[in-house]
Amino acid sequence: MKFLLTGTLLLEAALSLPMRAVEPDPVQKAAAEAIAASVVAAEIVYDGNGNVVKLAISNHTGTPRGKDGRQSAPGVTPEIFIRILELPHLEAIAIEKQPLSDASYRLLGQLKKLRDVRLQYLDGKAGATGDAPLFINNLPLTLEVLELKHCFDVKEGCMKQLKPQPEIRKLEIDTAYAGADAVGFIKQSPKIINLQIHRTTMTDAQMQEMFAALPELDQFLIRPVASPSDPITGATLRGLAKCPKLRNFYGGLSWKSLPFKGGLDVFVGLTAMRQIVLEPTDVPGFSINVPAIQELHRLRPDINIRVGKDSIGGASNFKPENMDEPWNWDKGVNTHG
């Protein structure tokens, strides 16, 4: 017996069939996998049309990374990395500890859809310098994410030479990229919600300028190193009053002092605050039990405060939050935290 389906029934029948996933584009898949085969860990992300839209590669061997946790690989060479140009739909790139020079990084300037750039452990022996990120100036789209981290081989960064990125939402900078030259760049990025500054030599005055320019700031990490004049101290925190949406704060390394009055008391008036982590390395005897922490807890018991392994306070449904988690599309391939 044969049945004649009407147009409506045909449509309903078609909609009931399982959707067939689009196969990855073979050219892009081959290029991405060739790059990934040379590194310790990688993550390749495809979109619904089979295009490679995100790629993370790492040669960090300190701990297992990626899905296989391999601990040895040569790293991607310039001869292989040139295949990055076969990924014209790439929106995000994360490169950690690869033997690449500035010339290889300049190739990324030809990828016209990039909006998320993460570079870690630039290799000075391979010819990478502080100017490696300048390919960003050739991108037609403004960035949403920029990470320049753990670049210990770099003696001088290029933040002053980078074009303004007014749409950037997450910025993470470190070492030579985290000095005074970054202040102007940050002030021209008022939409930043996640700012992480590691090993910075910025001054108190420069921090005040930045705070005043960041009304949307939600997550903030700051790890100062000793500065010879006008250093960052607990008093520097006063500028956070200009960031009314701040919800998550981390302070580590050198602070000289972290008193309550004229320091931690700024958090009392920040109604959105939910989590504070303090790990100063130069404040003798600092712990969860010091009077400054206890007074803050008394006035804001809803804030979870952590010092080392100890914590106090927080809402009944509080769960510790990793600042990188919402942005962790690479699934931990690159170093976070």
Q: Is residue 215 part of a domain?
A: no
Q: Residue 1: pLDDT above 90?
A: no
Q: Using CA atoms, how far apart are residues 20 and 291, in angstroms rounded to an integer?
A: 62
Residue 143: CB partners within 8 Å, gap ≥ 6? Answer: 114, 115, 116, 117, 136, 165, 167, 168
Q: Is residue 204 part of a domain?
A: no
* H or E stretch covering 95: strand 92-96
Q: Is residue 333 part of a domain?
A: no
The single residue listed with the structure tokens 């998550």 is 248
Residue among 134, 125, 80, 71 nearest 105 (CA):
134
Q: Residue 184: pLDDT above 90?
A: yes
pTM of the entire structure? 0.92
CB neighbourhood size of 24 (10 A): 18
Residues 271 and 144 in one domain: no
pLDDT band at 69 (very low <50, low <70, confident <90, very high): low
Residues 151 and 287 in one domain: no
Q: Is residue 265 part of a domain?
A: yes
Domain hosting residue 112, numbered range: 24-192
**CATH number for position 32:** 3.80.10
Residues 185 and 262 in one domain: no
Residues 98 and 183 in one domain: yes
Residue that is last in its domain, among 141, 165, 192? 192
Residues 186 and 245 in one domain: no
Residues 29 and 121 in one domain: yes
The most distant pair of C-alpha atoms in the chain lies apart, rounded to whole Å, by: 91
Contact 303, 273 (CB under 8 A): yes
Q: What is the model's pLDDT at position 336?
A: 64
pLDDT band at 11 (very low <50, low <70, confident <90, very high): very low
Q: Residue 142: pLDDT above 70?
A: yes
Q: Is residue 12 part of a domain?
A: no
CB neighbourhood size of 103 (10 A): 12
Q: Using CA atoms, how far apart are residues 110 and 138, in angstroms rounded to an integer?
A: 7
Q: Is residue 14 part of a domain?
A: no
Q: Is residue 212 part of a domain?
A: no
Cα angle for residues 227, 229, 230 (degrees, 5° grid): 95
Residues 160 and 245 in one domain: no
Residues 181 and 238 in one domain: no
- The residue type found at 185 is F
Q: What is the model's pLDDT at position 71?
A: 73
Which tens digit of pLDDT belongs to each residue from 205-249?
999 999 999 999 999 999 999 777 899 999 999 999 999 999 999
Residues 236 and 161 in one domain: no
Tally of domains in the chain: 2
Q: Residue 268: pLDDT above 80?
A: yes
Q: What is the model's pLDDT at position 197?
A: 98
- The residue type found at 56 is A
Compute the mean pLDDT over every residue in the chain, rounded to the nearest whole number: 92
Which tens digit of pLDDT belongs to each residue from 39-59?
999 999 999 999 999 999 999
Q: What is the model's pLDDT at position 227?
A: 76
Q: Using CA atoms, how far apart are residues 87 and 37, in angstroms rounded to an integer?
A: 16
Residues 237 and 184 in one domain: no
Which tens digit of pLDDT belongs to each residue from 310-319?
999 999 989 9
Residues 28 and 110 in one domain: yes
Q: What is the model's pLDDT at position 65?
A: 60
Which tens digit of pLDDT belongs to each residue from 174-183?
999 999 999 9
Take residue 269 and report the two structure tokens written for it. 């008036």
